[in-house]
Amino acid sequence: MATKNAKPLILITNDDGIQSPGIRTLIETMRESGKIIVVAPDTVQSGQSHSLTLEEPLKITYHSKKRDLEEYAINGTPVDCVKFAFHLMNRKKPDLLVSGINHGSNASSNVIYSGTVAAAVEGTLLGFPSVGFSLDDYSWNADMTPLKPWISKIVKHLLQHPLPKGICLNINFPKKQTEAIKGIRICRQAKGDWHEEFVEQTDPRGRKYYWITGVYNCLDDRPDTDVRAMEENYISITPVSTDWTAENMLNSFKDLTNV
Amino acid sequence: MATKNAKPLILITNDDGIQSPGIRTLIETMRESGKIIVVAPDTVQSGQSHSLTLEEPLKITYHSKKRDLEEYAINGTPVDCVKFAFHLMNRKKPDLLVSGINHGSNASSNVIYSGTVAAAVEGTLLGFPSVGFSLDDYSWNADMTPLKPWISKIVKHLLQHPLPKGICLNINFPKKQTEAIKGIRICRQAKGDWHEEFVEQTDPRGRKYYWITGVYNCLDDRPDTDVRAMEENYISITPVSTDWTAENMLNSFKDLTNV
């Protein structure tokens, strides 16, 4: 919990890059809540999941400093940004890490590919409360204004009620904005998959190359999933564990110990 | 389960690249078990986790074909390799995906950064039984010969007893090889973290850049963890879920629905 009378320290990152409308909206919204440090990728890092830059060095490619708002862009992934931010802060833990707002849903199995949520997972591993925000709309120009009061309320609550260890929150906003968002539901990750195709093209030297494309399919009829909540115009909040052990399967593989 | 009398189809990938000793050992070991297709990265992809190549196209940079062994290298990540392999196989599911042998442990929270395990997670999402093998030794020249009979036995078992849906196995071999491996244990993911430092250097034009370095700390005394098993010279097998919902936390965030 933030020290009484001291402004909370809030770390902001994302995976769409420091110039994306999503992170700009998040920064604007967060300025009322505390002292802000932004460390974000200098380019789009969609689909980077929890990847780390090990084979080349990181550089700070942009830096600005205003009252209670310091920003850095680096040539790295969202997870690099969180680790590097912790270094820049001399290992002082922020009161909250907020990642996003992602341009596109991170509900269902998208959580596994998401750099936005990976940043929150990394914050959790480093020991600070962390959440990722995403909007179920890939458009760069999506209107994020209706999300601001919800984000403010959620963040205010989280600063008063810190998350338990080992858990971050994957928070997804519905796309439908012809009517007001109905509220918030606590959800489980829906089962779903991507059906991918590879579009084959040929370069001027006659060599083939392949672009991945895909269509997401939700394969889950349960009433309490993140996908269902968004379909019904609710904000979904899914608690995400950093312990991936299939707990209920630990007793199912006894035979394997006797091969 | 493999069709009777037909050779099982086994898909092999890794994150250290198609030329690494780890995958060469795995290919040698697997040849007795079925028809092999290898689709692996053409360069080292350590720490790439579940990242996908979206911003540039994939190319096949190496291809060879022998009896019951076909190999492809591509300019992608381990997860790209699994998706592209599925495309190359005309969406025919292999009987088993084996990823590795990784040069380095993927126990504890390393599973989150691991491209080796990510490939197995991706196979699971696509609906085929998948496992990742790793050796707790980063050396490129580590002696992997003692692992071969264990891998053969585990694979033989898995071809007879397919994994349940939504679960893959993260299999880690201990480093200590002065005595024989004692056996196999079914384990949970140990709690642990990385303490990172960033080494600052300056380029000839006076610009600073930073290399990440880190030391892993195990923070878990429980007797049934993957780290403990390896310390005691056992092979650890951890069932990994593709559902990251913190199941036991679903009722802990009621307050958040009333902000």
pLDDT at B25: 98
Least confident of A70-74, A174-178, B144-148: A174-178
pLDDT at A147: 96
Q: Does B83 touch chain A (CB under 8 A)?
A: yes
Confidence of residue A6 (pLDDT cuts 50, 70, 90): confident
pLDDT at B178: 76
DSSP secondary structure string, A9-49? EEEEE-SS-TTSHHHHHHHHHHTTTSEEEEEEESS--TT-T
Confidence of residue B4 (pLDDT cuts 50, 70, 90): low
- Nearest Cβ partner of A256 from B127, B154, B253? B154
pLDDT at B175: 93
pLDDT, tens digit, 9 for 90 and up, residues B76-132: 999 999 999 999 999 999 999 999 999 999 999 999 999 999 999 999 999 999 999
Region B184-188: mean pLDDT is 98
| Chain B partners within 8 Å of A84 (Cβ) | 198, 210
Q: Does B182 touch chain A (CB under 8 A)?
A: no
pLDDT, tens digit, 9 for 90 and up, residues A10-31: 999 999 999 999 999 999 999 9
| Chain B partners within 8 Å of A126 (Cβ) | 193
Confidence of residue B5 (pLDDT cuts 50, 70, 90): low
Examine the pLDDT at B241 and tell me if it is beyond 80. yes
Q: Check: CB of residue B152 under 8 Å from CB of residue B112.
A: no
pLDDT at B38: 98
pTM > 0.80:
yes
Examine the pLDDT at A3 and tell me if it is beyond 60. no
| Chain A partners within 8 Å of B208 (Cβ) | 59-60
Structural domains in chain A, CATH included, are: 9-189+221-243 (3.40.1210.10)
Question: Tokens 């491209």 identify what position?
Answer: B115
Q: Does A196 touch chain B (CB under 8 A)?
A: yes
| Chain A partners within 8 Å of B47 (Cβ) | 51-54
Q: Check: CB of residue A106 under 8 Å from CB of residue A117.
A: yes
Region B14-43: mean pLDDT is 97
- Nearest Cβ partner of A243 from B157, B166, B189? B189
- Nearest Cβ partner of A186 from B50, B196, B256? B256
pLDDT at A176: 75
pLDDT, tens digit, 9 for 90 and up, residues A109-147: 999 999 999 999 999 999 999 999 999 999 999 999 999
pLDDT at A70: 98
Examine the pLDDT at A1 and tell me if it is beyond 70. no
Substitution target from B44, B243, B251, B258 for chain A, most A beta carbons within 10 A = B243
User: What is the rounded CA–CA span in Å between residue B252 and residue A192?
Assistant: 25
Q: How many CB pairs under 8 A join A and B?
A: 226
pLDDT at B176: 75
User: What is the rounded CA–CA span in Å between residue B106 and residue B137?
Assistant: 10
The amino acid at A233: N
- CA-based nearest distance A79→chain B, Å: 10
Q: How many CB atoms lie within 10 A of CB A78?
A: 32
Region B9-16: mean pLDDT is 98
pLDDT at A5: 63
User: What is the rounded CA–CA span in Å between residue A117 and residue A110?
Assistant: 9
